[in-house]
Amino acid sequence: MKHLLGLEDLSKEEILQLLEKGNGFRQWLDCEYLSTRTALSDLKGRKICLLFYEPSTRTRHSFEIAGRLLGADVSSFTIAVSSVQKGESFKDTLLTLESMGFELFVIRHSSSGACLYASSHLKRAKVVNAGDGMHEHPTQTLLDLLTIFREKGKVEGMKIAIVGDILHSRVARSAIHAFSKLNWDIRLCAPPTLLPAKIEKFPVKLFYNLEDAIKGVDVIYMLRIQRERQKEQFFPSIEEYSRLFGLTHLHKSLAPHAMIMHPGPVNRGVEMEGAVVDCEDSFILEQVRNGVAIRMAVLHSLLGEEEWTC
Ligand code: CP
C-alpha cells in the first residue's frame, strides 16, 4: 500500500491481511507488552504527523499510541495554534510539514476527498485517512472487523444491521465497501431522509423499522446523529427519532446473539439507551482496544517495509 485512503480501494485479500496483522498486534499488546512494557523498534526514527482538522478522541489518540508502540516519532499538529489560523492553505501546510521530514500523515478533515487531495500533492509522504467528510473512515471499519473476528471467529458471510444517520456517515460508507467484499447481508435502517440518494445501487437492504431490521442479525451497529454535518432538519425531533430508532434493552430478544457496536462517541439516550451501552453484549470499549492494534497494523504495513531515503 502506498496510502490508505479508503476500503473501496482495497481487495478482500488486503483487508484480511490487515486484520491478521492487527490480530497479531492485539495478541502482542495483551501478552508481551503487558508484561514487559517495552515498545517495539520496527519504526524507530520514522516520523509520523497527526493532522486533525476535526475533533477526535479515539482515532487521534490510538494512532498516537500505535505509532509510539512501534517506536516511531509521532507529532500531533494542533490546528488552533498553527499557521492555518493565519490563512495557510491545506496544501502549503502539508508541503511545509513534509519538508521537515514527516513520512506519513494521518489526516482527519471535514471535506470528503481531502486525503486523496493530500496524497496527490505530497511528494513522498504517505497518507492514512482518519475520516474525511462524509467519504470514508477505513481504520474504523478495520477495527470493527477485528472486533467481530475476535468474538465470532470469522469475518465472512454474516448479517449486520447498520442503524442511524447513514447519510452523513463515513463509517457506514467504509463498512458497506468492506462488508460487501466479505459477502455480508447488509441491512441499513434509518428514516428515509437519513439515507443517501441512489443507495439502492449498493448491495444493501433498506429498512425503515428498527425491529424488522435487527431481527436475527449477528451485529447491530448503531450510528450517532451527526448534528455537526446536518444543514437542515431531517426529522421532527430528537425525541421522536429516539423513540423510533433508538436501541433499548427491549430490543435484545430480537437478536439474542448479536454483538452491539457503535464507532463512538455515543449520545446516550439518543441512538442507544445508556443501559445498552453498558450491557454485556456491548463491544464499544473492545472496539476502542482493537483500534490501537489495527492502527499499529496500518502504520507497520505502510512504513515498516520501506526505508525513507532523501
Ligand atoms: N470513532 C471515531 O472516529 O471516534 P473519534 O471521533 O473520537 O476519533
Residue nearest to atom 4 of ligand 1 (CA): 58
Report the distance separating Cα 158 and Cα 8, nearest Å: 19
The pLDDT tens digits of the residues spanning 261-285 come to 999 999 999 999 999 999 999 999 9
Which residues of the chain form beta strands (DSSP E)?
A: 47-52, 73-78, 104-109, 126-132, 159-163, 185-189, 205-207, 219-222, 259-261
**Cis previous bond, 191, omega within 30:** no
For the chain, the first-to-last Cα distance in angstroms comes to 20
The residue type at 198: K
pLDDT value at residue 194: 95
Residues constituting the chain = 310
Query: Are 215 and 198 in contact, with CB atoms under 8 Å apart?
Result: no
Cβ(183) – ligand 1 distance below 6 Å:
no
Closest CA relative to residue 179, chosen from 216, 209, 154, 153? 154
59 lines ligand 1 (CB under 6 A): yes
Query: What pLDDT, on a 0 to 100 scale, did the predictor assign at position 230?
Result: 67
Q: Which domains does the chain have, with CATH numbers?
A: 12-137+288-303 (3.40.50.1370), 138-287 (3.40.50.1370)
Question: Is the CB of 263 inside a 6 Å radius of any atom of ligand 1?
Answer: yes
Closest atom of ligand 1 to CA, residue 264: 1
Going from the Cα of 252 to the center of ligand 1, the distance in angstroms, rounded, reads 26
Q: Which three cell numbers stand for residue 69?
A: 508502540
Q: Residue 263 C-alpha to ligand 1 middle, in angstroms? A: 7
Residue nearest to atom 6 of ligand 1 (CA): 56
Is the Cβ atom of 131 under 6 angstroms away from ligand 1?
Answer: yes
CA of 203 to the centre of ligand 1 (A): 26
Is the beta carbon of 288 within 6 A of some atom in ligand 1? Answer: no
pLDDT by 10s per residue, the chain, length 310: 899 999 999 999 999 999 999 999 999 999 999 999 999 999 999 999 999 999 999 999 999 999 999 999 999 998 988 999 999 999 999 999 999 999 999 999 999 999 999 999 999 999 999 999 999 999 999 999 999 999 999 999 999 999 999 999 999 999 999 999 999 999 999 999 999 999 988 999 999 999 999 999 999 999 999 777 666 788 878 999 999 999 999 999 999 999 999 999 999 999 999 999 999 999 999 999 999 999 999 999 999 976 555 4
Q: Is 291 in the pocket of ligand 1 (CB under 6 A)?
A: no
Residue of 50, 51, 52, 57 to mutate, ligand 1, most atoms within 8 A of C-beta: 57
Residue 159 alpha carbon to ligand 1 centre in Å: 24
Cell of 112: 470528503
Q: Which atom of ligand 1 is nearest to the CA of 59?
A: 8
| Number of C-beta neighbours around residue 230 at 10 A | 15
**What is the pLDDT at residue 233?**
80
Q: How many CB atoms lie within 10 A of CB 158?
A: 18
Confidence at residue 200, expressed as pLDDT on a 0 to 100 scale: 87
Q: For the residues of 268-304, what is the DSSP string, one character each? A: BTTTB-HHHHTSTTB-HHHHHHHHHHHHHHHHHHHHT
Distance of alpha carbon 293 from alpha carbon 25, whole angstroms: 5
Separation of CA 265 and ligand 1 centre (Å): 6
Q: What is the pLDDT of residue 235?
A: 80
With a 6 Å cutoff on the Cβ, whether 57 touches ligand 1 is yes
**Does residue 289 have its Cβ closer than 6 Å to ligand 1?**
no
**65 C-alpha to ligand 1 centroid (Å):** 15
**In 3-state terms, what secondary structure has residue 107?**
strand
